Chain A
């Protein structure tokens, strides 16, 4: 499920980048309010020394050995880029002819200089010389370091904002918000389902340069700009709350508890032989401070499943430990780098070494992760799936799997179950079939159960856990119209609930509160939807949103949005449905890029209270039913009134026109009567003379 979501999101992002229409001008029609940033940039370019590095701690050699040392240095530093002609200058003392122990190297580009600095600073040259490499521009700063250290002043804490970030949750009508992006506009709206319309909250032309994203708890709306990312929110409209400077940022990602924001940019290499350079920053969302910075070549990130841009799988950092944002981890070569957020350091100062690890996946709630190692050595070393506990790094459970071609891991949203979809080779190795391994995380010793579909040769198209529930749904089959099966894992056994045959579906969307699911036929199936009640095993409704590309439940599970984004030429816009498949309203928008509901933080009610509400639902719902009725009566009255006015206006217009028309005709007739009269007179005159001759008439 998560995989599907992230992939569709990526699609959207690339599409939108291509089809984005920007207004002309360097600043795209928006004045930058970021003056400091501009100053910085200008200063840098003024200096003109940004591609020069200073190499210190070189051996001091006499004039005789000058050439030899220069050759050594040149050899060491030409690996990182092209050194300019006469770009290596090693000063010598005039009287002794000895070198001074440092040199300057000028590269063609600042990027090369940066690369050289990073790769040589602190490294050994020979046995006793540890190089100290600095950018030339940094020297001034280093020279001005005062001898005495003054403890920095402790500034009084000023909160990020006085704004109530959770203001939208207190909406009287209990509505949800969503953000849409169409053309160059970014709009936030209320879903006013009772009034059957979207109620605008906030609109910004050119609000973002590639996409927008809600933070996982809905407090912030993040936008992406050339200078960096920004977050917006608060009670009094959408104000900018914080900026995160990161030039050319391409991707952003929040930690699940929205404490941290990861930003990522990728630079085109100056030398085509090199790989892309990737810069990652982790910001504290509230203070805007950079917590950690990573600058590496893209190769370092190209492990496991690669999707997204320039071979980097996004998000690079996967956050673990539930909503507390305690840990984040990254897949590396033969290792998983696990960081903690107290000091932003590797746990135990080293990565977890796992040979050939392919993929790993955090539990959504606990600090447990599952990893997958594929089969190696032509089957001599079997594949395995392991569960690790953090920070102890203890392996909780391990499952050895044979003749495996691929594994996919699916966590249930409460972290109670982990389903591993295992693709195994048949005996002839020409084909694969699918099985599942089910881990019960919360039970003692984590029992594992294997199960297969009725027809194990069926291809699995989609798999999805019921949120917070014990059921899951699978789309499987090789037919153009696949089957959909529902399973329950309650009570320690996998039990098939039902199989729906021959459905036009290729994606599954569970309601966030469970019980209901949408079987969606996107793309190839032209936007067929079936709303299905899994409790009763009954179809509620079958509908169609022609050409729909995306489906999203609102965070409460009351409404569903289906949208056609601009990947498709026609029909752009979105539809809002009730959870029982009734079309509430449609909003057509040309160049529609993105629809996304504002997430809600978890409920503050205790489980007991929730249960009590569920039990006495009738009592609570009465109030809302009355409200609903009042509004619908009011609406129909308003509608009637509006129609009546329109009708009266029209009739008034028609009558006025008729009256004018008749007057006009009357005037015309009078005019022509006068004319005719004159003519007749003339004629009379004439005829008098002619009459005697022409008597035939």
Chain B
């Protein structure tokens, strides 16, 4: 948030739900009302985690944020890195202070699971409260909504005939890409919408509609200079589309590509490369212009979420065994760890344990000094790195 003028008071955007009347989110210290055995909550590490990542004795503990009642689906930081937006299957995207995990408010209005969100980078327009930014969310209620981040006001609703999934603002926030799922005979599609400078001028028409991929498109993001859209999904193929003409420019080579559904996609800060995670238990790093495979990271579990550090050459992979098989085995068997890999060497550096369900969402703070993970267990875990983390030798 850019704080210009007097420090804004944070009005509660909507009435807090009755279940969460304690407004500052529950932080680890108040673990008594978590409803889970403290031993699990308090013991996020074991001997296998290199102490350079986290030292449970002396160093930072993770902040445990309980605000969602259903599994997390997506996490997103704003550009300044002071706000964290979380989406879950429980219809209400939530915004938190990225520093201490305090819950700021929720965005009420969706009537289905919220799959994805994005927050605009620049101040788009001025309203009575001063400057503000936009939040876009894609939901299973067959709509994508634009929100005023600060007030929680619903600004606009894009309605579709099938559930909306991925959303992403272009660089400059003039355009947004929204994907819709295959539904009732409709195929999946990628819609490009123009985002008006003033929400009152916003129209629902699509600038461009792209069709072709089979199955869900789990992620679609803007390529370098907004010239392309990169999409990936259930058919395990990564596609690059021309945003001018709507033509399919490239598909990734079959031999080196993923073998199963691609679940997640994360761009590097400069957009030069991106990382995809797949249920085939691997993550792959691609050149975002030529779509050549640069690196592959192999894990032992299906990958549900990926993130890249903006600061160091690290990638984080999250996942775990299928949610349906979780209860049948020991919690250690699930491997619900966020795994850190060296981006260049493709070697595992360490892991952060804690979730007791698969990790569905990962996001790095733009400053690279903290990251958060969201799990099938309904928790968001906010990890601030210890000073030692930054001393990990890269070679």
Given contacts A654-B272, A657-B272, A668-B225, contact A570 B344 (CB under 8 A): no
Q: Does A588 contact B (CB under 8 A)?
A: yes
Q: Give the residues in chain B near A647, CB-CB below 8 Å.
A: 344-345, 394-395
Q: Does A209 contact B (CB under 8 A)?
A: no
Q: Which of B174-211 contact A (CB under 8 A)?
A: none
Whether A661 contacts B224 by the Cβ 8 Å rule is yes
Q: Give the residues in chain A near B294, CB-CB below 8 Å.
A: 653
Q: Does B287 contact A (CB under 8 A)?
A: yes
A546 and B329 CA atoms in complex are apart in Å by: 12
Q: Give the residues in chain B near A653, CB-CB below 8 Å.
A: 287, 294
Whether A657 contacts B330 by the Cβ 8 Å rule is no
Q: Does A462 contact B (CB under 8 A)?
A: no
A175 and B124 CA atoms in complex are apart in Å by: 68
Other-chain contact of A570, B321, B343, B394, B395 (Cβ < 8 Å): B321
Q: Does A65 contact B (CB under 8 A)?
A: no
Q: Does B289 contact A (CB under 8 A)?
A: yes
Number of B interface residues at 8 Å Cβ cutoff, please give it: 21
Q: Give the residues in chain A near B330, CB-CB below 8 Å.
A: 526
Q: Does B332 contact A (CB under 8 A)?
A: yes
Tell me the nearest residue of chain B to A590, going by C-beta.
B281
Q: Which of B305-332 contact A (CB under 8 A)?
A: 313, 321, 325, 329-330, 332
Q: Which of B344-387 contact A (CB under 8 A)?
A: 344-345
Tell me the nearest residue of chain B to A640, going by C-beta.
B395
Q: Does B128 contact A (CB under 8 A)?
A: no
Q: Does B333 contact A (CB under 8 A)?
A: yes
Q: Which of B270, B272, B313 has the most chain A CB within a 10 Å cutoff? A: B272
| Distance (whole angstroms) from the CB of A507 to the closest CB of chain B | 19
Interface string of A655-684 (1 = CB under 8 A from B): 001101100110010000000000000000
Given contacts A546-B333, A570-B321, A571-B300, contact A643 B345 (CB under 8 A): yes
Interface string of B260-287 (1 = CB under 8 A from A): 0000000000101100000000000001
Given contacts A570-B321, A653-B294, A658-B272, contact A646 B344 (CB under 8 A): yes
Q: Which of A569-589 contact B (CB under 8 A)?
A: 569-571, 588
Whether A547 contacts B333 by the Cβ 8 Å rule is yes
A600 and B330 CA atoms in complex are apart in Å by: 38
A349 and B330 CA atoms in complex are apart in Å by: 58
Whether A588 contacts B224 by the Cβ 8 Å rule is no
Whether A644 contacts B395 by the Cβ 8 Å rule is yes
Other-chain contact of A661, B272, B321, B344 (Cβ < 8 Å): B272
Whether B333 contacts A571 by the Cβ 8 Å rule is yes
A668 and B332 CA atoms in complex are apart in Å by: 52
Q: Give the residues in chain B near A624, CB-CB below 8 Å.
A: none
Q: Give the residues in chain B near A657, CB-CB below 8 Å.
A: 272-273, 287, 289
Q: Which of A626-648 contact B (CB under 8 A)?
A: 640, 643-644, 646-647
Q: Give the residues in chain A near B325, CB-CB below 8 Å.
A: 569
Other-chain contact of B225, A546, A547, A664 (Cβ < 8 Å): A664
Tell me the nearest residue of chain A to B46, going by C-beta.
A544
Whether B329 contacts A570 by the Cβ 8 Å rule is yes
Q: Give the residues in chain B near A571, CB-CB below 8 Å.
A: 300, 333
A657 and B325 CA atoms in complex are apart in Å by: 43
A588 and B299 CA atoms in complex are apart in Å by: 10
Interface string of B75-97 (1 = CB under 8 A from A): 00000000000000000000000
Q: Does A309 contact B (CB under 8 A)?
A: no
Q: Does A28 contact B (CB under 8 A)?
A: no
Q: Does A344 contact B (CB under 8 A)?
A: no
Q: Give the residues in chain B near A569, CB-CB below 8 Å.
A: 325
| Distance (whole angstroms) from the CB of B319 to the closest CB of chain A | 13
Q: Does A650 contact B (CB under 8 A)?
A: yes
Whether B272 contacts A646 by the Cβ 8 Å rule is no
Q: Give the residues in chain B near A547, CB-CB below 8 Å.
A: 333
Whether B225 contacts A588 by the Cβ 8 Å rule is no
Q: Which of A246-274 contact B (CB under 8 A)?
A: none
Tell me the nearest residue of chain B to A654, going by C-beta.
B272
A664 and B300 CA atoms in complex are apart in Å by: 40
Q: Give the residues in chain A near B395, CB-CB below 8 Å.
A: 640, 643-644, 647
A546 and B395 CA atoms in complex are apart in Å by: 30
Whether A546 contacts B287 by the Cβ 8 Å rule is no
| Distance (whole angstroms) from the CB of B380 to the closest CB of chain A | 26
Q: Give the residues in chain B near A644, CB-CB below 8 Å.
A: 395
A643 and B329 CA atoms in complex are apart in Å by: 38
A142 and B47 CA atoms in complex are apart in Å by: 76
A600 and B358 CA atoms in complex are apart in Å by: 45
Q: Give the residues in chain A near B300, CB-CB below 8 Å.
A: 571, 588
Whether B344 contacts A660 by the Cβ 8 Å rule is no
| Distance (whole angstroms) from the CB of B228 to the closest CB of chain A | 12
| Distance (whole angstroms) from the CB of A71 to the closest CB of chain B | 64
Q: Give the residues in chain B near A643, CB-CB below 8 Å.
A: 345, 395
Tell me the nearest residue of chain B to A664, going by C-beta.
B225
A391 and B395 CA atoms in complex are apart in Å by: 69
A570 and B313 CA atoms in complex are apart in Å by: 30
| Distance (whole angstroms) from the CB of A106 to the closest CB of chain B | 56
A101 and B395 CA atoms in complex are apart in Å by: 94
| Distance (whole angstroms) from the CB of B353 to the closest CB of chain A | 13
Q: Give the residues in chain B near A665, CB-CB below 8 Å.
A: 225
Q: Give the residues in chain A near B287, CB-CB below 8 Å.
A: 653, 657
A279 and B330 CA atoms in complex are apart in Å by: 44
Q: Give the residues in chain A near B329, CB-CB below 8 Å.
A: 570
Q: Give the residues in chain B near A526, CB-CB below 8 Å.
A: 330, 332
Whether B289 contacts A660 by the Cβ 8 Å rule is yes
Interface string of A485-528 (1 = CB under 8 A from B): 00000000000000000000000000000000000000000100
Tell me the nearest residue of chain B to A644, going by C-beta.
B395
| Distance (whole angstroms) from the CB of A582 to the closest CB of chain B | 14
A546 and B289 CA atoms in complex are apart in Å by: 42
A664 and B228 CA atoms in complex are apart in Å by: 14
A668 and B329 CA atoms in complex are apart in Å by: 56
Q: Give the residues in chain A near B332, CB-CB below 8 Å.
A: 526, 546
A571 and B301 CA atoms in complex are apart in Å by: 9
A658 and B289 CA atoms in complex are apart in Å by: 11
A526 and B329 CA atoms in complex are apart in Å by: 11
A286 and B394 CA atoms in complex are apart in Å by: 57
A575 and B163 CA atoms in complex are apart in Å by: 45
A141 and B321 CA atoms in complex are apart in Å by: 64
| Distance (whole angstroms) from the CB of B343 to the closest CB of chain A | 8
A640 and B394 CA atoms in complex are apart in Å by: 12
| Distance (whole angstroms) from the CB of B130 to the closest CB of chain A | 29
| Distance (whole angstroms) from the CB of B243 to the closest CB of chain A | 13
Q: Give the residues in chain B near A658, CB-CB below 8 Å.
A: 270, 272
A571 and B329 CA atoms in complex are apart in Å by: 12
| Distance (whole angstroms) from the CB of B296 to the closest CB of chain A | 13
| Distance (whole angstroms) from the CB of B240 to the closest CB of chain A | 15
Given contacts A647-B344, A647-B395, A665-B225, contact A570 B333 (CB under 8 A): yes
A653 and B294 CA atoms in complex are apart in Å by: 9
A665 and B271 CA atoms in complex are apart in Å by: 13
Interface string of B215-247 (1 = CB under 8 A from A): 000000000110000000000000000000000
Q: Which of A406-430 contact B (CB under 8 A)?
A: none
Q: Give the residues in chain A near B270, CB-CB below 8 Å.
A: 658, 661
- Those 10 A-B pairs whose CB atoms lie nearest each other, nearest first: A657-B272, A650-B344, A643-B395, A646-B344, A570-B333, A647-B344, A646-B345, A647-B395, A643-B345, A546-B332
14 further A-B contacts with Cβ under 8 Å, apart from A646-B344, A647-B345, are A526-B332, A546-B333, A569-B325, A570-B329, A571-B300, A643-B345, A643-B395, A650-B343, A653-B287, A654-B272, A657-B272, A658-B272, A661-B270, A661-B272
A-B pairs with beta carbons under 8 Å apart, 13 shown: A526-B332, A546-B333, A569-B325, A640-B395, A646-B345, A647-B344, A647-B345, A650-B313, A657-B287, A661-B224, A661-B225, A661-B270, A664-B224
